[in-house]
Structure 1
């Protein structure tokens, strides 16, 4: 019988999968009915429900992303709820298309049950990502159309 991963270990496995570009493996870290909220996403969906939806989303990101991500300053804080961790970290980002590099601050709050993520609230710097990709005008236009 294999040992169930702790919430800290699950987060670290998630971060490793993202930074090594193994996006197709990430959905395996989530429960069948998991919910992921990308709280500061300026346009588009901010809530994803279910492992199948997440698998599709991770596949799209894996195919489309021009970003190379390297994590640093990783701090995982355990809470008084044994299922919940709060992770703070920075990404050193290289945008392969534009050649721009920058740092992006991130916070994720994960609820992990039986070794699987059941809920995640993700706070990423989407504005910095838009600027680095040269997509700020499109972002502003999308926000004006709201």
Structure 2
């Protein structure tokens, strides 16, 4: 009987160690964001994910329900256009809800085609359940993003069309 209790205790201990805290997931997220292929970043998301981008420019959905595997494909597609080099100015805020974390950070990178350097500032509100990101609300300046990627004229055109 004693051997069985030890085995059960060992399994519970391993499961507890295997599930990272929300803070640890955010730290892994920040590190994985620098992965050129995006695979490590996609691994941090749950099987079902809601991503909201309240300030998304025209043509990009403000809310999407997707899967971790669909995100992997999106991250890999975006990797060819830009290269993230470092992340700094990180501030992680714990909230009253242990599943919700707010993270502020700046991403430094370059546009692959032109070599143009950029800095994008983000605030993300993440819900992390069972060690996986299941909901993310991402705030960034779409004008800065469009300027960095050389797409400001397209953004202005899209914004002009929407007001008509």
Give TM-score, length-normalised by structure 2: 0.79
User: Which of 75, 92, 97 lines up with 2:91 in the alignment?
Assistant: 75
Q: What is the aligned-residue RMSD (CA, Å)? A: 1.8
CA spacing shift, 1:60–1:47, aligned 2, 3 Å: farther
Deviation at 1:100, TM superposition (A): 2.7
Higher radius of gyration, 1 or 2:
2
1:101 deviates by 2.2
Aligned match of 2:61: 45
Report the alpha carbon displacement of residue 92 of structure 1 after superposing the two structures with TM: 2.0
Larger displacement relative to structure 2 (29-38 or 18-27) = 18-27
**1:133 counterpart = 2:149:** yes
SS at match of 1:45: coil
Asked if structure 2 preserves the Cα contact closer than 8 Å seen for 1:106 and 1:123, the reply is yes
The C-alpha deviation readout for 1:93-144, integer Å capped at 9, x for no partner, is: 3223333323321101111011011111011232112112221111111222
SS at match of 1:15: helix
Note the 1:1-146 alignment, pairs <5 A: 1-2=14-15, 3=17, 4-43=19-58, 44-51=60-67, 52-62=69-79, 64-146=80-162
Give the TM-score taking structure 1 as reference length. 0.87
Q: Tell me which protein shows more helix as a share of its residues.
A: 2
Contact 1:98 1:132 in 2 (8 A): no
Unaligned runs of 5+ in 1: none
Q: How many residues align?
A: 145
